[in-house]
Amino acid sequence: MGDLMPKINIGVTTYNGGGRLAWLLRSLAMRTPELRSGDAIITIVDDGSPDHSAIRAAVDGFPDLPIRCMLHEINRGISAGWNTATRAIDAPIDVLLNDDVIVSSDWLAPLVYVLEHSPDVGVVGQNWHAFLAGDVPGLLATPASDVEVVPRDPVSKAQEPDRRIKFEDTWPGRVMAPTGQLFAFRREDFDAIGGFDEAYKSFFEEIDFGTAMAAKLKKIGVQTSWPFNYHLWSATFGQNPELQAGVRMESSRDHYRSKWQVPSSFSRGSEFDHTNPTHLGAVGDVEIGFLRKDGPWRGVLRQSGAFVDGEKI
């Protein structure tokens, strides 16, 4: 990579996730040519793991990858980890991943394409399939083996053979924020809104980020439908009860309601029924460029949410 600044910073936060991190790094090594060309670098933030050696061992297993490791002495929460990862490298584009993700074939280029061809899109993410530990050997067998594994429904975890056909040919959609396990944004937009609000230790942090993009920059969030990534949902909280997921959820909900002035008439759990139309819905029609399996497309995401005027380029 020499002295050249990479174009893309791939940030990963982890807490006690050495095994999951090794899966993620294996998938990145196989499916991210930008890491070999010098266009991308990986920044890993260990958010106060009691045993940092397991994280270090996972990283040491991939000596050929360009990786920078950073350490929080105590657990500061996901927003602080994302800020540390983003600010570590002055790259134009940042992509943030949880450690419980396995990336799919062709995963990175579609994210970058949207940001480079859609000036009114502030943050872009991908939809996802669930996976279980037993699926990992198949997912990581070869660079393209992910397309051979039967995807699972995110909620039930049941295998769903038609899931790719059902979703991957649909159009992108406007969202308050993409799901937080994998999403991308421009560094200049991150700086313009002040980064992630570190009052969120867990939960609501990506929603707050998307809300701020819409409220302050008049930019929308977009969730694409190709390609999907693979996600082991809530693995960190399931394996680390000391993080007190329930307590963090309620604290984050209170902060979000106060910060975005959610009226008391909106019950707990319905916060987005206020902020989504108030902020995201206030942004008008947005032109978007994006990739599908058959190449580049463009079109318009209406203020109403409808995708219109789709055209293959």
- What sign results for the dihedral spanned by CA atoms 41, 45, 46, 52? positive
Q: What is the mean pLDDT of residues 133-149?
A: 96
Q: What span, in angstroms and rounded, lies between the C-alpha atoms of 37 and 210? A: 31
- Convert the pLDDT of each residue in 245-302 to its tens digit: 788 889 999 999 999 999 999 999 999 999 999 999 999 999 999 999 999 999 999 9
Residues facing 231 on adjacent strands: 101, 130
Q: What is the mean pLDDT of residues 141-168?
A: 93
Report residue 3's pLDDT band, with 50, 70 and 90 as the boundaries. Answer: low
pLDDT score for 241: 73
pLDDT score for 245: 78
pLDDT score for 2: 45
Q: Does 163 have pLDDT greater than 60?
A: yes
Check residues 104 and 4 and name the one with the higher pLDDT. 104
Q: What span, in angstroms and rounded, lies between the C-alpha atoms of 155 and 182? A: 17
Mean pLDDT of the chain: 94
Residue type for 109, please?
A
Cis peptide before 227 (omega within 30 of 0): yes
Q: Does 5 have pLDDT greater than 90?
A: no
Q: What is the mean pLDDT of residues 125-142?
A: 96
Q: Does 97 have pLDDT greater than 90?
A: yes
pLDDT score for 4: 63
Q: Does 40 have pLDDT greater than 50?
A: yes
Lowest mean pLDDT among 13-17, 33-37, 189-193: 13-17
Q: Does 212 have pLDDT greater than 90?
A: yes
pLDDT score for 1: 44
pLDDT score for 167: 87
Domain locations along the chain: 8-283
pLDDT score for 304: 93
Q: Does 88 have pLDDT greater than 90?
A: yes
Cα angle 177, 240, 207; round to 5: 10
Lowest mean pLDDT among 44-53, 61-70, 175-184, 228-237: 228-237
Residue type for 305, please?
G
- Convert the pLDDT of each residue in 164-211 to its tens digit: 888 888 999 999 999 899 999 999 999 999 999 999 988 899 999 999
Q: What span, in angstroms and rounded, lies between the C-alpha atoms of 249 and 198? A: 14
Indicate the fold that domain 8-283 takes in CATH.
Spore Coat Polysaccharide Biosynthesis Protein SpsA; Chain A (3.90.550)
Exposure of 132 by Cβ count < 10 A (0-12 exposed, 13-18 middle, 19+ buried)?
A: exposed
